[in-house]
């Protein structure tokens, strides 16, 4: 089931996602990418991308020192644990921050992605609070995505101009939302 979900259907599932969530693709999505230091404004933009209740953008665009330091921690686990110590940052937002800092290495995870993971038979767990076990689970998730990437996913991701990790993550999201029978 996993191989056919992502190889034969990846492009269609991404099309459904683009139709259902146009604000999560192309320009608006690209605007969230950052390199180097992360600012408070960038953090709030990413927060609003993931949150159901958006926050107003701050007038200051200064470096978010605590988050910036967390992103420079030596390991993925250390990065996640440091982000978890920042008030209000749980795994869905932490994974989005990681993703937008380096989309070739990280994918976003949230409740919809977890539902998609269940549908394709991957193990899942609650992902809210960030603990060592949550960090290990996130690493497992990234490994499962990398195992899923094949020539068809690579071809589709190149054609769609998204990273292979993002393409698989979006497929899981669409499956989790139950949109896989939708037509764009």
pLDDT in tens, 76-103: 999 999 999 998 899 999 999 999 999 9
CA–CA separation, 124 and 178 (whole Å): 17
Instruction: Please give the DSSP secondary-structure letter assigned to residue 110.
Output: -
For position 52, what pLDDT does the model report? 77
Q: For 134-154, what is each residue's pLDDT tens digit? A: 999 999 999 999 999 999 999
Token reading at 28: 């608006």
Strand positions, DSSP E, the chain:
none
* Structure token pair of residue 17: 């996602």
Q: How far apart are CA 86 and CA 174, in angstroms?
A: 29
Helices (H), the chain: 2-7, 10-20, 26-30, 40-50, 65-71, 76-84, 91-101, 111-119, 132-148, 151-160, 164-177
Listed by start position, the domains of the chain span: 2-181
pTM to 2 decimal places? 0.92
């Amino acid at each position: 089931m996993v191989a056919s979900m992502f190889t034969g259907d990846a492009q269609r599932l991404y099309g459904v996602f683009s139709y259902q969530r146009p604000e999560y693709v192309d320009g608006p999505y690209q605007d969230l990418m950052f390199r180097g230091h992360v600012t408070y404004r960038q953090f709030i933009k990413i927060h609003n991308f993931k949150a159901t209740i958006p926050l107003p953008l701050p007038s200051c665009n200064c470096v978010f020192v605590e988050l910036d330091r967390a992103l420079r921690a030596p390991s993925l686990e250390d990065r996640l644990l440091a982000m978890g110590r920042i008030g209000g940052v749980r795994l869905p937002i932490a994974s989005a921050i990681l993703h937008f800092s380096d989309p070739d290495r990280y994918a976003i995870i949230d409740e919809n992605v977890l539902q998609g993971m269940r549908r394709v038979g991957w193990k899942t767990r609650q992902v809210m609070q960030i603990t060592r076990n949550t960090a290990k689970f996130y690493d497992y998730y990234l490994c499962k995505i990398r195992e899923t990437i094949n020539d068809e996913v690579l071809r589709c991701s190149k054609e769609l101009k998204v990273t292979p990790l993002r393409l698989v993550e979006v497929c899981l999201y669409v499956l989790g939302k139950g949109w896989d029978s939708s037509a764009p």
